[in-house]
Structure 1
């Protein structure tokens, strides 16, 4: 084993938040500690009255630093808050007991794209390497989604993102399809680009508060979607699919989570009187395995306007639970090739309802006839997406 390292992980999401990023970082943190390293997680905290607060979670030291609010506010206030965040964190770090720690490596997680000023100061003070984990390429995906054009806001965000890249020694992207975006960055002799697959830790055994057997979907084959319901997911087609399959009294659709589109989607379902659809609020991540044990097929949805590649965290949770997937994603996404090669579900690249209906019907037949399907899902997860694999890869890159 490599010598134990003194590491700092900088992010803007971590438990008690329940986002997929928070769960990922919790699992990575636990695994780094299991592998013998000393880890401090540094986070912005808008609700702190004091400048800093030091906590312990699962052997991980968590330092929360007072910073401006960046969640659940409008875009302008969020941008200003995120821009100021690393400077506020750096100022309050200097008041904390960890002000003068020398780190062996700095790991940071994007989104957000705004951590670079804090990361750069820690790297320089410690003379260490930095590993940037990129889970989406912003602002490019926002342009793809027509949330912004290539005007002044885009140029501002692109400059922030490029500064972040410039101070990274290693960048870990989530699929090979993301690599071309960093071709110029990679030409620097000291820069290393690698694919760092998404990861999850071993599941817990917490009982789920949702009991499908006690709902109107009892006894049906359940398509489940658990996670963020926002613009980037393009989920309207899933309600269209539910409406197409409404005559099948043996099939139901379960949507669990929150997001900017969640209430709108609920309203559409109610307006159409979709009796085969149920919505539930977000649940604790530890309840997810027991939820999936009650379901049959996991749904992955990405708006077809995306041009970047993405393997969502929910895909990993489906694989971990042995659930085959029905995916509606942008054409050419690396996820499609993985699903087809590993035979762990079916994927639609056309965003056409007729094709989605055909694939859903096909997959419903397959889960009855292909008894090895759950085993293939589990095998893919254990080979590619374990937290142990991700932690070892990051440590190897930092120690290289």
Structure 2
């Protein structure tokens, strides 16, 4: 198949959507598909253009068999709702020349648009209509719902227009894929037939991410005592997680000299978290930059307990991508989730960790105290087993490839019938 993927985030970004899009494209290329990607210069999660790409404009490179067309965009140093909108529209503007060129170049069998940003799908949808190509909207986050529920956008007219555009993109897609059953249900509730929606969950490479003994962790590298009880949050430090509760709990646990909170990562909320910790004179919180992928197992082995936190209003609008790696590493997560959501049900049904109420410092404190006083081995064993059964990178991408073949073949059979 000839496949063109649109997505604002892509490898070598280490976390979030870019990691999964990059792994998907590289895997498909290894199966001898012809894969091209239109994406941005890498900037996430640091919110600054990666060093190798600074000063670049439009450029093309081939990595792992994938032809990658990179475009410049505005990257705000401090992220807020208005700047994020400008950031996303700057990308839509910069990809327009590539869109025009693609219209008059070779024809692709399939276009995949990765959301967010949700409106990125406009140009792929136009290409699909003009060139008679299949078009898939892949939804990693329900961005418009999140913008409304997190009160990032409050203007009703603007939200109504965004929801109408989103629905139009879904209706004009050959298929809509998403990463959880909860998100699938929310898309069905928007009036999209369930038969049109494909479950395409995020995955983990279990050879790369695996349980390691504590002596192979980053305890020494981080300058921590071997006796430390490490509460780890690793990943995006953004608005959807409600990470301020960590500061409140760290205050309550200051008297426990053996407990240390380790926060690893980058994002729009990092500066605020560091300021809150500094203003409270907390000496039991350590901040570290995002670690390279080859250190991920060692990083996760550093933790006694992992934090997977979300705001109530983000329930089933996003799925925390960090959870797949935590489970593959045999970690015990404390997960803030609302009953009835996919995240809650997965953790509860498979006994993978400790569930707590979102946005509650008291609930988080009780969860941590319970974890520190308990034998967590059954959670750890369940976590690794679950990842092997349900999160295998190879199995998920094999099934995805078969689905793509089905979608493209449907189109070819339809065209064949018209010409005979």
Q: Could you say which TM-score interval applies, normalised by the shorter chain?
A: 0.7 to 0.9
**What does residue 110 of structure 2 align with?**
105
Compare 235-244 and 46-55 and name the one that shifted more.
46-55
Summarize deviations over 1:184-241 as a string: whole Å, max 9, x none: 666569x611322122334548x9xx94325245431211111111221101112222
**What does residue 390 of structure 2 align with?**
384
Between the aligned partners of 1:280 and 1:48, the Cα distance in structure 2 is 23
Contact between 2:61 and 2:68, CA under 8 Å: does it hold in 1? yes
**What does residue 202 of structure 2 align with?**
198
Summarize deviations over 1:29-86 as a string: whole Å, max 9, x none: 222223332221221349798874321112222122x354255466445434534644
CA RMSD of aligned residues (A): 3.1
Summarize deviations over 1:101-152 as a string: whole Å, max 9, x none: 2212111211111222321233235423222211111211122112222523
Q: Structure 2 length normalisation: TM-score?
A: 0.82
2:219 to 190, 212, 219: 212
1:17 aligns with 2:13: yes
Give the secondary-structure state (helix, strand or coil) at the position aligned to 2:36.
Answer: strand
**What does residue 117 of structure 1 align with?**
122
Between the aligned partners of 1:187 and 1:117, the Cα distance in structure 2 is 18
Compare 347-356 and 291-300 and name the one that shifted more.
347-356
Between the aligned partners of 2:305 and 2:171, the Cα distance in structure 1 is 41
Q: Structure 1 length normalisation: TM-score?
A: 0.86
Spell out the pairing of 1:237-316 with structure 2 (5 A cutoff).
237-316=245-324
**What does residue 395 of structure 1 align with?**
401
CA 1:188–1:321: 2 relative to 1, 3 Å: closer
**What does residue 139 of structure 1 align with?**
144
1:357: Cα distance to partner? 2.1
CA 1:266–1:84: 2 relative to 1, 3 Å: closer
1:380: Cα distance to partner? 1.2
**What does residue 37 of structure 2 align with?**
41
Compare 302-311 and 133-142 and name the one that shifted more.
302-311
**What does residue 413 of structure 2 align with?**
none
List runs of 5+ in structure 1 lacking aligned partners.
Answer: none
CA 1:62–1:337: 2 relative to 1, 3 Å: same
CA 1:198–1:341: 2 relative to 1, 3 Å: same
1:348 aligns with 2:353: no
**What does residue 221 of structure 1 align with?**
229
CA 1:149–1:395: 2 relative to 1, 3 Å: same
Compare 334-343 and 174-183 and name the one that shifted more.
174-183
Contact between 1:12 and 1:43, CA under 8 Å: does it hold in 2? yes
Between the aligned partners of 1:80 and 1:263, the Cα distance in structure 2 is 21
CA 1:221–1:77: 2 relative to 1, 3 Å: closer
CA 1:69–1:244: 2 relative to 1, 3 Å: same
CA 1:126–1:49: 2 relative to 1, 3 Å: farther
Number of corresponding residues: 390
Between the aligned partners of 2:255 and 2:193, the Cα distance in structure 1 is 58
Contact between 2:310 and 2:358, CA under 8 Å: does it hold in 1? no
1:31 to 27, 32, 37: 27
Q: Deviating runs (4+, > 6 A) in structure 1?
A: 46-51
